Amino acid sequence: MGDIAEDEASFYSNAEDYWREVPPTVDGMLGGYGSISSIDINGSKAFLQKFLGEGEGKTSPVCALDCGAGIGRISKRLLLPLFQTVDLVDVTQEFLDKAKPYLGEEAKRVGNYFCCGLQDFKPENGRYDVIWIQWVIGHLTDEHLVSFLRRCQKALRPNGLVVIKDNVSYEGVVPDEVDSSVCRDLDIVRRLVDSAGLRIVHEEQQMNFPKEIYQVHILALR
């Protein structure tokens, strides 16, 4: 039992150590693939806009949470243009410090900057219309991902959405020793979502990414 706890502790601490050495830039946030940022944002915007608006079942564009926000790349290009208020959560304080100047004038519409790992983060109940979780679920153990998604569900406003956007492996769980993360296949991700009591209401693959990286899928959950 002690070994499991020790492995888990090093899984998280090694990831924190890795990110502390990453430059607080768009290229740093994207692991050297800064060139794909616009393709990524455009795909996310087209996906999200299917849900936003007025009317029955639509998600209000009031308050969003950017999980694993880094310097605020997604907040700046995707969430702040669509929502009145955005909160950022990231495990690396240097990234959040950089987010304020990076977001510029729009930083005044940021509600909160939370420095916390998602395994420990407790979003406020009933606060968010959209909780955006991109390229960060691989830094959570299965158990912590399920419990975080359950907390996210409670943090949603009526008709709110949790969105996961991440790489998926071809089969099974593929560990990455460099940044201390894992890449799960789509069936495993779906099973963990189901375990959290959420259902997938829409799912798409992000197109036009470099061939050498794992496929990226976007899942909208309620």
Residue set of the binding site for S-adenosyl-L-methionine: 68, 73, 90-92, 118-119, 134
φ and ψ at residue 70, rounded to 5 degrees: 60, -130
Q: Characterize 1-30 residue by residue with b for buried, 16 or more Cβ atoms within 10 angstroms of its Cβ, and e for exposed.
A: eeeeeeeeeebbeebeebbeebebebebbb
- Scanning 49-141, the segments in alpha helix (DSSP H) are 73-74, 93-103
Q: CA-to-CA distance for 140 and 119, rounded, in angstroms?
A: 7
- Cβ atoms 165, 216 nearer than 8 A: yes
Q: CA-to-CA distance for 79 and 67, rounded, in angstroms?
A: 12
- Give the CA angle between residues 177, 115, 30 to the nearest 5°: 45
- Cβ atoms 73, 29 nearer than 8 A: yes
- The amino acid sitting at 64 is A
Reduced to 3 states, what is the DSSP secondary structure of residue 48?
Answer: helix
